[in-house]
């Protein structure tokens, strides 16, 4: 009997059907963030990262053009079970030779190569306006008191909304457009209200344009603080939750965007009482929103548990981290696989049984059984999932990544 068959029997003794869990896991789409491959640089600007965005390290082999980035994504996809989505930022527009279009006038044609890339692989696309790393983003963007700058970024948001609609229609998959701005103050502000009023009106102007609300979801992402805006963030959690609820769009929860003692897992069940769906950016913060590679840790497992308990169809799930200190491709693969493993843990949990123990006040037995579950043979079930999906298991995928590094990444300038 194989290790997987033995594991099936063990989980069955807890009332868990491994085959059902694996079928559900295969259907959960994760939106892979394109910016891990090139340190958030994109193709429309060769200047420094701004807006509180930072990468650390200078590991060789980062993608320097669309062809290299797409090749790296292909390799990543070959090492991740299932069929997923790609999450693009607007600064990854692809122009014809000699062409340049600023962000306020981006059009669907500037992302047509990404649509063809996704179509050939059965992928979906999600999108993010890029309100950073631009000469008009040295101060405030959508909250700017300068009408010209604010209008520029409003037009950028409108352009991005039409591009997201293009993705949804061309690929026949719902697409998410997520808005995050870096606007804030380094020191204690004299006026907290007016920047938020301007942000609110700017968002209203973006959302006022007609778009396919059935197939295009818009989310707003909050943040507690950022580098250079430690004292005040315009798009705070309270602002974002109030705005999304009143405008009937989605909140996006990035688990690196809260105080370290806050639990995003705990926020989800509360939010889902008021929203049909919510969006997630999954990362790993260390001390602050430092975008480390997602680890198979307690925080991620708790978030995954809430996703499965509520129903994965109620979430847009994306990854969001960037580490330039290690092999970027390996970081990509490891983080996504860890997120999938966390989802598998949740799917292999006898949640109804556990909930019944909680309801009956059997807290000792609940704790004992929860601890028992931690040492069950998850790895054998996961490796079987990799096998039936035609990708390398946990013992071999890194060897493929090292070969790719030697044969492809190491040859880049």
Annotated active-site residue in 33, 277, 281, 384:
281
289 in catalytic set: yes
Per-residue pLDDT at 260:
87
- On the question of pLDDT at 227 being above 90, the answer is no
pLDDT digits (tens, 9 = 90+) for 288-297: 888 899 999 9
Per-residue pLDDT at 226:
82
Per-residue pLDDT at 50:
77
35 in catalytic set: no
Torsion (CA) 181, 185, 190, 191 in degrees, nearest 10: 0
Per-residue pLDDT at 16:
96
Per-residue pLDDT at 48:
72
User: Would you say 225 and 177 are in contact if contact means Cβ atoms under 8 Å apart?
Assistant: no
134 in catalytic set: no
Domains of the chain, with CATH numbers?
Answer: 28-347 (3.20.20.150)
- At residue 110 the predicted structure's pLDDT band, cuts being 50, 70 and 90, is very high
pLDDT digits (tens, 9 = 90+) for 307-326: 999 999 999 999 999 999 99
223 in catalytic set: yes
Annotated active-site residue in 29, 110, 223, 305:
223
Q: If you average pLDDT over residues 350-369, what whole number do you get?
A: 94
Per-residue pLDDT at 287:
87
- At residue 47 the predicted structure's pLDDT band, cuts being 50, 70 and 90, is confident
Q: If you average pLDDT over residues 109-127, what whole number do you get?
A: 98
Are β-strands 284-286 and 288-292 bridged in parallel, bridged antiparallel, or unpaired?
antiparallel
Least confident of 13-22, 44-53, 85-94, 203-212: 44-53
254 in catalytic set: yes
Q: If you average pLDDT over residues 297-308, what whole number do you get?
A: 97
Annotated active-site residue in 39, 72, 221, 323:
221
180 in catalytic set: yes
- On the question of pLDDT at 225 being above 90, the answer is no
Q: If you average pLDDT over residues 16-44, what whole number do you get?
A: 95
Annotated active-site residue in 29, 85, 257, 384:
257
How far apart (Å, rounded) are the C-alpha atoms in residues 114 and 193?
39
- On the question of pLDDT at 114 being above 90, the answer is yes
Integer angstrom CA distances of residue 85 from 68, 109, 175, 276, 385: 18, 19, 9, 21, 19
Tokens matching residue 36: 């891990």
pLDDT digits (tens, 9 = 90+) for 49-107: 777 777 888 899 999 999 999 999 999 999 999 999 999 999 999 999 889 999 999 99
Per-residue pLDDT at 290:
86
Locus of tokens 């948001």: 157
Per-residue pLDDT at 263:
93
Locus of tokens 């790393």: 133
281 in catalytic set: yes
Classify burial at 109, counting beta carbons within 10 Å of its beta carbon; exposed 0-12, middle 13-18, buried 19 or more: middle
Q: If you average pLDDT over residues 362-379, what whole number do you get?
A: 94
Annotated active-site residue in 35, 180, 332, 397:
180
Per-residue pLDDT at 53:
73
39 in catalytic set: no
291 in catalytic set: yes
Annotated active-site residue in 289, 299, 306, 405:
289
């Amino acid at each position: 009997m194989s290790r997987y068959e033995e594991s099936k029997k063990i989980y069955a003794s807890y009332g868990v059907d491994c085959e059902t869990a694996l079928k559900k896991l295969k259907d959960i789409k994760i939106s892979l963030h394109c910016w891990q491959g090139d340190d958030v640089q994109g193709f429309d600007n060769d200047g420094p990262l701004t807006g509180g965005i930072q990468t650390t390290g200078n590991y060789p082999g980062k993608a320097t053009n669309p062809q290299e980035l797409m090749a790296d994504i292909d390799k990543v996809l070959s090492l991740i079970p299932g069929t997923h989505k790609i999450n693009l930022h607007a600064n990854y527009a692809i122009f014809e030779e000699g062409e340049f279009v600023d962000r306020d006038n981006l059009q669907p044609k500037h992302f047509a190569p990404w649509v063809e890339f996704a179509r050939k692989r059965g992928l979906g696309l999600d999108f993010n306006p890029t309100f950073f790393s631009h000469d008009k983003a040295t101060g405030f963007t959508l909250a700017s008191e300068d009408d010209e700058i604010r209008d520029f970024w409003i037009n950028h948001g409108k352009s991005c909304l039409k591009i997201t609609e293009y993705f949804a229609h061309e690929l026949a998959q719902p697409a998410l457009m997520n808005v995050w701005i870096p606007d804030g103050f380094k020191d204690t502000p004299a006026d907290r209200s007016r920047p938020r009023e301007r942000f609110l009106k700017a968002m209203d102007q973006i959302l006022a344009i007609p778009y396919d609300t059935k197939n295009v979801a818009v989310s707003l992402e909050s943040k507690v603080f950022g580098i250079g805006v430690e004292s005040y963030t315009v798009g705070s959690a309270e602002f974002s939750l109030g705005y999304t609820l009143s405008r009937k769009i989605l909140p996006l929860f990035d688990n690196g965007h809260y105080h370290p003692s806050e639990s995003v897992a705990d926020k989800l069940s509360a939010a889902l009482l008021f929203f049909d769906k919510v969006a997630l950016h999954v990362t790993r913060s260390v001390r602050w929103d430092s975008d480390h590679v997602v680890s198979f840790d307690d925080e991620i497992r708790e978030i995954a548990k809430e996703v499965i308990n509520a129903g994965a169809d109620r979430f847009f799930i994306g990854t969001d981290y960037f580490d330039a200190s290690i092999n970027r491709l390996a970081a990509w693969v490891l983080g996504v696989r860890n997120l999938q493993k966390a989802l598998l843990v949740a799917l292999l949990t006898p949640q109804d049984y556990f909930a019944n123990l909680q309801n009956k006040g059997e807290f000792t037995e609940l704790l004992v059984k929860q601890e028992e579950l931690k040492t069950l043979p998850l790895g054998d079930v996961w490796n079987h999932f990799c096998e039936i999906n035609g990708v390398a298991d946990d013992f071999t995928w890194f060897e493929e990544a090292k070969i790719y590094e030697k044969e492809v990444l190491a040859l880049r300038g």
